[in-house]
Structure 1
């Protein structure tokens, strides 16, 4: 039985994803469930627990639960044209309260196509998104200081998915960097994980280092929300 310490994903983690992607069969999955548990699911749960401890020690205000933080490998196919029953990845969120409902989160994704981590304010509710945009408009010096701090740490805000037009009420904003930021639907920094590193405990150090480097984004968003980091 696991003691909750992450030691790495099993050697057959990626081969499992490849085989699952080929078969996409519930029968095949359940025949190979033991391998899924031993090489993917249980190590991922251990990763969540280990990161929770390390994030607490670093004062990052992010935590998770080995069950509640995990996303299911099963796909919701009710309204999808693609009826394949399984994802090609596993992922989890660590958040200020340990649920998937808050903003300012850490996300980690281990998959067949790519492995990466992110720190994000992802699709904020309209009131929070408006508050973020107002903060960019009215306190540009704080936004720019955050962006510069990220840059010093080797990170940059992701611009994928931004709006093509400036949202209503912000048409008067003229500075190009502020306009680009206000058009964002998400505020995210990402870190690419080399799949070769996922099989050992060094992955934890890499993810903690990334999240510490992403802290300027966390602190900036939390100040807007009025929610300081929780111990």
Structure 2
């Protein structure tokens, strides 16, 4: 299969949108937007194809993965009507495959891909914290692995300022217990995004998330005896 490059014209459109983020400009340039949207969707199709070689994704296609460019400004101080990036997500298939993949392509060296758990519910957070509290070694081993560190650096996500209620503040893994989100992120420069091998860089990053996603899936889908919940 021939490689699909990320379209440089899609970045050009975003830069123009950043300078003209209003409805009149967008309406006049909507045909160009639709052309670029289709090009990014084709690139997302290729990402999905590569992902399905080593994971199982239920998202039906690249276009289905993409977020709307129209912003919901009802509760935001920023009233600009359009997002100034291309973004979307891929959902893993089956209840035992927890977590998901996200992509964000934005000029100015602001592009990244991410995997993990953006908004875990209270029950899921408790399961993860209880497992960490019992034995943080498995997660520590994943987070300190050379491949993980070289790809993602460290675990990302919002954290509490102190230990969560019901957990000892002197616990050896209190730094992990404070997390409210569990995310891993690989950032990209514009040069990388527009390179011939960008699709390979993305796919390798997604592959490198698997020890983390597999650990989290096991924690969230089994009880302390290893029985499926």
- TM-score under structure 1 length normalisation: 0.83
Deviation >6 Å, runs of 4+: none
Task: Note if 1:74 corresponds to 2:67.
Answer: no
Residues 63/48 of structure 1: CA separation in 2 closer, same or farther (3 Å cut): farther
> Could you tell me which of 1, 10, 14 is aligned with 1:17?
14
Q: Deviations over 1:9-59 (max 9, x none)?
A: 3332222112212221222112212222223x112212222122211212x
Task: Note if 1:33 corresponds to 2:12.
Answer: no
Q: Find the counterpart in structure 2 of residue 147 from structure 1.
A: 143
Q: Provide the C-alpha distance between the structure 1 equivalents of 2:140 and 2:50, rounded to a whole number of angstroms.
A: 29
Displacement of 1:172: 5.5
CA contact (8 A) 1:55 1:208 kept: yes
Q: Provide the C-alpha distance between the structure 2 equivalents of 1:53 and 1:129, rounded to a whole number of angstroms.
A: 31
Displacement of 1:6: 6.5
Range that drifts further, 62-71 or 12-21: 62-71
Q: Find the counterpart in structure 2 of residue 106 from structure 1.
A: 101
Q: Provide the C-alpha distance between the structure 2 equivalents of 1:172 and 1:162, rounded to a whole number of angstroms.
A: 14
Q: CA RMSD in A?
A: 2.4
Alignment of 1:1-231 (within 5 A): 7-39=4-36, 41-58=37-54, 60-64=55-59, 65-97=61-93, 103-113=98-108, 114-149=110-145, 151-153=146-148, 154=150, 155-171=152-168, 174-175=171-172, 178-199=173-194, 202-226=197-221
Displacement of 1:160: 4.7
Q: Provide the C-alpha distance between the structure 2 equivalents of 1:6 and 1:46, rounded to a whole number of angstroms.
A: 11
CA contact (8 A) 2:143 2:155 kept: no
Structure 2: segments with no counterpart, 5+ residues = 223-229
Displacement of 1:63: 4.7
Q: How many residues align?
A: 216
Q: Provide the C-alpha distance between the structure 1 equivalents of 2:29 and 2:6, rounded to a whole number of angstroms.
A: 16
CA contact (8 A) 2:73 2:79 kept: yes
Residues 117/220 of structure 1: CA separation in 2 closer, same or farther (3 Å cut): same
Secondary structure of the corresponding residue to residue 67 of structure 1: helix
Secondary structure of the corresponding residue to residue 92 of structure 1: strand
Q: Deviations over 1:167-191 (max 9, x none)?
A: 001125521xx11111011111111
CA contact (8 A) 2:45 2:63 kept: no
CA contact (8 A) 2:107 2:190 kept: no
CA contact (8 A) 1:56 1:63 kept: no
Displacement of 1:217: 0.8
- TM-score under structure 2 length normalisation: 0.84
Residues 42/112 of structure 1: CA separation in 2 closer, same or farther (3 Å cut): same
